[in-house]
Chain A
């Protein structure tokens, strides 16, 4: 029952997100708005309901399986993007290399190196 009650809570927050997005014409998806509303609710209440924790522990490990049907589609759109694959691959390879480089550099610059572990880095 805990699982069902938690699942119902998640659906309620998704619906609230739906209402908020449609009424305020927000540029985010319904479930994303639901996530933010649930997060705000948890931060205000400063207490995590056991049923919500149970339902989220059950659902989060399924995320990879739930996106898989969408991934399958990439094998059926090869023709649609013919002629653009060089651009796509280069954008992914070079873009990822550059963004990892930037993140590492930024974090090394701003992360306080004292505290916690002795993993100090110049």
Chain B
């Protein structure tokens, strides 16, 4: 019985099946809960996965090693993000001036505020390196994390939380600042809240959705170039 248990844990099949089941289960629960914006489907899926790992006495490092057969697809899927970016080139060309004025500054500040606050509160470098890519879409943020260090898990957890907080902050601040332009709201959601912000933006309408995708892609590409460079310059 013990041997069976060990051999099952040692194949990629169980790890991959578990991941797919947890993800589909997460999606299902997410729909059942009425698509709550404060609790993305990935988070439910991650909780389900963690619970099954614990029940099966499956070591996280072993799980990670075996599930790499599946997560290998993250590489080509990241390259694939060039396609939607290419399809949005008209938006970029038409509004290059405001985008050039806002995007680099907004993307830099998104990282800077979090790093500064964590640093002021005495967090060690591994913590603020994990928080720096918090507004970058996950596949690109993982590339940044390879470069600047930090904890992958903390980084991804922070990413999810940032997405959720962004939808809350944008709804709140749009009311306070009386911003109703869907282009601005969409852009703010994408720049700060990556894929989770985009979901909210599409609820506001297709224009907001398109600008959110644009904001997310540009922030991702800009930060992937900027953050490792900044880290190298500051010498962290």
Contacts and interface: CB of A to CB of B under 8 A. Distances in A.
Contacts of B154: 74, 77, 81, 88
Interface size class of B (residues with CB under 8 A): 35 or more
A84 B160 contact: no
Contact of B101 (A65, A96, A106): A106
Interface in B139-167: 139-140, 142-144, 146-147, 151-154, 156-158, 160-162, 165-166
Contact of A66 (B73, B83, B102, B127): B73
Interface residues of A, number: 78
Contact of A67 (B60, B142, B143, B147): B142
B9 interface: no
Given A27-B229, A35-B221, 8 more contacts: A59-B73, A64-B41, A88-B158, A90-B118, A96-B113, A96-B114, A96-B135, A99-B114
Interface of B: 19-20, 22-23, 26, 40-43, 45-47, 49-50, 53, 60, 63-64, 67, 70-71, 73-87, 89, 95, 97-98, 101-102, 105-106, 109-110, 113-118, 121-124, 127-128, 131, 134-135, 137-140, 142-144, 146-147, 151-154, 156-158, 160-162, 165-166, 169-170, 173-174, 177-185, 187-188, 191-192, 195, 207, 221, 224-225, 228-229, 232
Q: 9 shortest A-B CB distances, which residue pairs?
A: A29-B143, A73-B153, A95-B114, A56-B80, A74-B157, A27-B228, A87-B121, A31-B78, A38-B82
